[in-house]
Amino acid sequence: MRLLIIGKLDGQLGNASAIAVKKGARVTHATDPDMAFDSLRSKGADLLMVDVALDIKAIVEQLKTEHFSVPIVACGIGTDARTAAQAIRNGAKEYIPLPPDAELIAAVLEAVAEEDDTFIVRDDVTRQVVRLAEQVAPSEASILITGESGTGKEVFARLVHRKSHRAKQAFVSVNCAAIPENLLESELFGHEKGAFTGAVARRIGKFEEADGGTLLLDEISEMDIRLQAKLLRAIQEREIDRVGGARPVKINIRIIATSNRDLAEEVKKGTFREDLLFRLNVVNLRIPALRERPADIEALADHFAHKYAEMNSIPFRPLSEGARAILRAHRWQGNVRELENTLHRAVLLSSGSEIGPDAISLPDGSRPHYQGSPQSAQPSDASTDGMAGGAAGGVPLVGRTVADVERDLIIDTLKHCLGNRTHAANILGISIRTLRNKLNQYQSEGLPVPAPGEGARASLS
């Protein structure tokens, strides 16, 4: 991970830098925001660690102006809770007190960068895909990874990178579905100063950031077909043209692409170029749906139970047999991502010595009824308190709008997490950006929104 540290802080940021380097981060220093943006435009970064005394709100606004999507962690020496809370309101994702604690730095780097390299495989079906991935990783072949949303396609892409000859170089990921069409070209290929409104300086794109390493084009099927032509040329010629640039830039990267669609069908529809598909699909890794690899379900559930107990500083509780039976019986349409969110909720909702069936709240709001034996653990229509009749806690849903129910769920979850936006977003299964947009909307409507540190760890049910 590429960490850019902004500020001085009497040498304490140097200590934080040393810890980050030991944890595998590549660190760059900038004494002020101007120097930091020069570095961002020429080198890029995955995370900013910023002195809380600097104008974080202005930095966030400048990031938006220049279309940088980089999270900020604020840090400071002897800062009171009010200052830390204000930094988060101004756009920081987390706050770290200094002098730095090694374990805290490591935890924040992992959480903010969202790079969980934990690779858990128990099912033979998954092991076959892993063996193929490891076999082709040392080659320079482009790889297309396909599978339903939430199956872990990016996890497999990172596995290929780690097992390749490029493992010590950058792994850069760009989500083609998350970036507006008119900005994606600049995001991928970079731009020159003045190339378009808002291009205040030259900026390198993801291709140049990944030079020497691996570039992951996530959900490539969402890319506009006109931009696909420029991507095809970049792959064939190993050079790119910045937006507004006068001459090509040579690149040395390996391309991995992912899609949750059938690209052959997209070719027939005319929404995806056939020649680009041939270039990308030298090797295809099809990631099976979670329901096709039942042995992975319990192993992943155990991992998430440990992970979220530690993250929320609460005692670890093992899964009861009844809870395990429910997990095995569910279809997991959202795959690993759905399972992770379900276990996060279960960790927070459980009481007693185990995570029992009552703590398993599925994404549709239902709480499957456990009949008492593993074989009979199936979701029960009679026990489902979803949109049809009521909600957990006895609050009726009939007659309320979806927006009202969504608002109450978001606010209650935020209170439960003591105002921690990152934890609340994880529980809700939405991005931190989506959560903040919703909270800004509620505040503009005059509704009270819990600040960091506010709320109560009460049951959500």
Tell me: cis bond preceding 315? Omega within 30 of 0 counts.
Answer: no
What tokens were used for 313? 């500083």
The pLDDT of residue 375: 39
Both 322 and 392 in one domain: the answer is yes
Task: Report if residue 450 sits inside a domain.
Answer: no
Distances (CA, A) of 424 to 157, 334, 446: 27, 19, 21
- Say if residues 160 and 130 touch (Cβ distance below 8 Å): no
Rounded to an integer, what distance in angstroms lies between the CA atom of residue 12 and that of residue 78? 12
Both 216 and 344 in one domain: the answer is no
What tokens were used for 325? 């039976």
Task: Report if residue 454 sits inside a domain.
Answer: no
Both 196 and 253 in one domain: the answer is yes
Q: Which amino acid would we find at residue 170?
A: A
Task: Report if residue 388 sits inside a domain.
Answer: yes
The pLDDT of residue 192: 85
Both 99 and 141 in one domain: the answer is no
Q: Domain end: 288, 311, 343, which one? A: 288
- Say if residues 15 and 99 touch (Cβ distance below 8 Å): yes
Our separate counts of H helices and E strands in the chain read 18, 12
Q: Which residue has the tokens 């009521």?
A: 390
Task: Report if residue 451 sits inside a domain.
Answer: no
DSSP character for 228?
H
Alpha helices in 151-262 (DSSP H): 153-162, 181-189, 206-209, 225-237
Both 256 and 331 in one domain: the answer is no
Nearest to 172 by CA among 220, 110, 217, 233: 217
The pLDDT of residue 461: 34
Both 231 and 301 in one domain: the answer is no
Q: How far apart are the first and last CA of the chain?
A: 38
What angle, rounded to 10 degrees, do the helices at 181-189 and 225-237 form?
Answer: 10
Task: Report if residue 86 sits inside a domain.
Answer: yes
For 247, residues 6+ apart whose C-beta sits below 8 A from its C-beta are none
- Under-70 pLDDT residues of the chain: 9-11, 67, 78-79, 109-118, 198, 363-400, 453-461
Rounded to an integer, what distance in angstroms lies between the CA atom of residue 427 and that of residue 340? 9
CATH number of the domain encompassing residue 8: 3.40.50.2300
| Structural domain count of the chain | 3
The pLDDT of residue 79: 65
Both 400 and 272 in one domain: the answer is no
Task: Report if residue 151 sits inside a domain.
Answer: yes
CATH number of the domain encompassing residue 326: 1.10.8.60
Nearest to 346 by CA among 333, 332, 331, 362: 362
DSSP character for 203?
B
The DSSP annotation for 369-383 comes to: PP-SSGGG----GGG
The pLDDT of residue 105: 74
Task: Report if residue 103 sits inside a domain.
Answer: yes
Q: Domain end: 92, 113, 134, which one? A: 113
The beta strands (E) that lie in 78-130 are given as 94-98
Q: Domain end: 113, 141, 165, which one? A: 113
Nearest to 32 by CA among 9, 2, 12: 9
Rounded to an integer, what distance in angstroms lies between the CA atom of residue 117 and that of residue 431? 19
DSSP character for 324?
H
Bridge partner list, 355:
319
Q: Which residue has the tokens 């027939």?
A: 268
Both 248 and 319 in one domain: the answer is no
Both 183 and 274 in one domain: the answer is yes
Alpha helices in 270-363 (DSSP H): 274-280, 294-311, 321-329, 335-349
Bridge partner list, 97:
76
Distances (CA, A) of 26 to 3, 72, 161: 6, 16, 17
Q: Which amino acid would we find at residue 315?
A: P
Q: Exposed, middle or buried: residue 389 (CB in 10 Å: 0-12, 13-18, 19+)?
A: exposed
Rounded to an integer, what distance in angstroms lies between the CA atom of residue 456 and that of residue 461? 14
Rounded to an integer, what distance in angstroms lies between the CA atom of residue 176 and that of residue 178? 6
Residues in the chain: 461
User: By residue range, what is the domain housing residue 250?
Assistant: 124-288
CATH number of the domain encompassing residue 203: 3.40.50.300
- Say if residues 386 and 365 touch (Cβ distance below 8 Å): yes
Both 49 and 139 in one domain: the answer is no
Both 150 and 225 in one domain: the answer is yes
Both 364 and 417 in one domain: the answer is yes
Query: What's the angle, vertex CA 205, arms to CA 278 and CA 75, rounded to 5?
Result: 130
Rounded to an integer, what distance in angstroms lies between the CA atom of residue 377 and that of residue 367? 12
Task: Report if residue 457 sits inside a domain.
Answer: no
